[in-house]
Structure 1
């Protein structure tokens, strides 16, 4: 089967474990690295992982990073976000168990859609039966709070291991912002990173989106990322 890895095509930089600031999430990162590199599929191998956190804490980044690492191991993988389900057919889940790694994001978006829940339930059963596939799912809520209509699906999701993606403190948010700027070829000082944290949304994903505009205009104007430049560019 050909790969269907539908990762964002307009990313300014590759989302990997190298540019993810783990901090309190090191145990989760280590687990996902193990999942991505588990070529020897022996008993006890982590076949189902559930991650949860509020928006903007890096769940999707972790899924992309796991897919990227798995591909480096010559393993087939597929990424699908249920945020896009209105553009997809429920039959998309059929046959995914043929991949080595399946990453499903934004599970909460099927809370009011029973056909999608049934399809996911069936996929989990097929993955479990096959025994050599890894499945990673992400959502905003812990399992006990996941608003699904199908109780059996919640039961299946509890078969695996569960992780909460921890929030980064201010120091680690600065590190993450500086690191992602460096990936784009931008030099960002700690002072500029702190300025952005103090004047914009503290949601890291929203802050990183600002790098697109800063990247474009700093290149056009041949200017460094100083606080005055950031203030004028972002109208702060």
Structure 2
């Protein structure tokens, strides 16, 4: 089976475990990092992992990082976000049980789509039967609160291990911004990072979008990241 990894082409930063700020999520991160290491994969239920958090806390980052690690170690992998389901067919889930790693994002977005729920239900059954693949599914809600029409799908998801992704503290958000800025060749002082945290939306995707703009204008104007520059660039 050839490797398949579908990640957003708009990602400007390399998304790996190295630039994920762990915070209180070490247990989840360690679990994902060791998922494809046979001697460290843990209990038999580790073939299926579900984790949840509100939007903007890093679910997609963790899925991308796990795929990146899998591909780096020559494992076949596939990523799919249910945000894109209107452009996809349920038939694309057929045969995914033959991949080493299968990652699904935004599972709550199939709440009103029974064919996708049935297809995911069937895939979970095939993955368990084949015993070859690791399946990771991320969503916004705890398992018992998932708004799904198919009760048996929630039951199947409970076959695996479940984690809650915990939000970062403000200092950890600042560190995430500083690290991403450094990856782009930008030096972001801590006071600038704190200013951004205090004056913008606090979720990381929104903060990274602001970093995109600062990166662009800093390059154009050959300016350093200072609070006055940030204020004028972002109209704060």
Q: 1:138 to 1:23 in 2, by over 3 A?
A: same
Match of 1:132 in 2: 132
Match of 2:211 in 1: 211
Determine if contact 1:214/1:230 at 8 Å carries over to the other structure: yes
Question: Cα RMSD (Å) of the superposition?
Answer: 1.5
The answer on 1:114 being equivalent to 2:114 is yes
Determine if contact 1:36/1:66 at 8 Å carries over to the other structure: no
Comparing 3-12 and 149-158, the one that deviates more? 3-12
The answer on 1:101 being equivalent to 2:101 is yes
Q: Deviations over 1:175-200 (max 9, x none)?
A: 11111111111111110000001110
* Secondary structure of residue in 2 paired with 1:46: helix
Comparing 192-201 and 39-48, the one that deviates more? 39-48
Query: Offset at 1:3?
Result: 2.6
Comparing 50-59 and 176-185, the one that deviates more? 176-185
Match of 2:31 in 1: 31
Q: State the alpha-carbon separation in 1 of the partners of residues 90 and 63 from structure 2.
A: 21
Query: Offset at 1:4?
Result: 2.5
Q: 1:190 to 1:122 in 2, by over 3 A?
A: same
* Secondary structure of residue in 2 paired with 1:155: helix
Determine if contact 2:45/2:159 at 8 Å carries over to the other structure: no
Q: State the alpha-carbon separation in 1 of the partners of residues 102 and 208 from structure 2.
A: 26
Q: 1:38 to 1:45 in 2, by over 3 A?
A: farther
Comparing 116-125 and 209-218, the one that deviates more? 209-218
The answer on 1:15 being equivalent to 2:15 is yes
TM norm structure 2: 0.96
Query: Offset at 1:24?
Result: 0.1
Q: Deviations over 1:117-148 (max 9, x none)?
A: 00000000000000121000000000010000
Query: Offset at 1:10?
Result: 2.3
Determine if contact 1:201/1:207 at 8 Å carries over to the other structure: yes
Query: Offset at 1:41?
Result: 7.7
Query: Offset at 1:39?
Result: 7.9
* Secondary structure of residue in 1 paired with 2:186: coil
Determine if contact 1:36/1:69 at 8 Å carries over to the other structure: no
Aligned pairs, number: 236
In the alignment, structure 1 segments of 5+ residues that lack a partner are none
Determine if contact 2:45/2:161 at 8 Å carries over to the other structure: no
